[in-house]
Amino acid sequence: MSNTVENKFKTPIIIVSILIPIVVAILFSIKLKDFGINVEPLSFLPPIYATINGLTAIFLVLAVRAIKSGNRALHEKLMTSAIACSVIFLVMYVAYHLTSDSTKFGGEGAIRYIYFFILITHIALSVIIIPLVLFTYVRALSQQFDRHKKLARITFPLWLYVAVTGVIVYLMISPYYVN
């Protein structure tokens, strides 16, 4: 397969990469209770989706190790698992925010600045990583392995950062969750 496969998916990837952050931002400001839908807050979800972020990070590291040792089949399974975890995370994250009020970080002093630095970089890179992951994945599916590897060298550390900082953000804000 050639670059034509990537070109075929270019427009859908760009559309999805723009729509996901916009839809998440819109849904973040909507609460189901505002529409008369009485749903209990899904307050049990944050530790679950933080764990899923942690699993994503583990899958990413193991996938890199697998491909470096020449095990392409395992690499493919681990990367597919990392993508699945990211999708599951996104669904749970949105579900939580549709049913629960946002939690304010209560830390003070230097830790507050550290938290917001991690949070802002996490959010910014979570938007940037969407097209990178999708283009990297399409290049692998279309067997453009040289181009896949070149883009994966950028995608991997950014995606790993997003996954790990997702866990860190959860750990830092978890004492302030209201049940």
Q: What is the pLDDT of residues 81-137, one digit of tens each?
A: 999 999 999 999 999 989 988 889 999 999 999 999 999 999 999 999 999 999 999
Q: Label residue 178 left, alpha or beta by phi (over 0 means left) and psi (-120 to 50 means alpha).
A: beta
pLDDT, position 164 = 98
Q: Model's pTM, two decimal places?
A: 0.91
Which residues contact residue 146 at a Cβ distance below 8 angstroms, ignoring those fewer than 6 apart? none
Long-range residue pairs from 10-16, CB within 8 A, at least 24 positions apart, any chain: 13/131, 13/134, 13/135, 13/138, 14/131, 16/130, 16/134
Cα–Cα dist 103/5, whole Å: 43
The structure tokens listed for 44 are 């049990």
Angstrom distance (rounded) from CA 84 to CA 87: 5
165 has pLDDT over 80:
yes
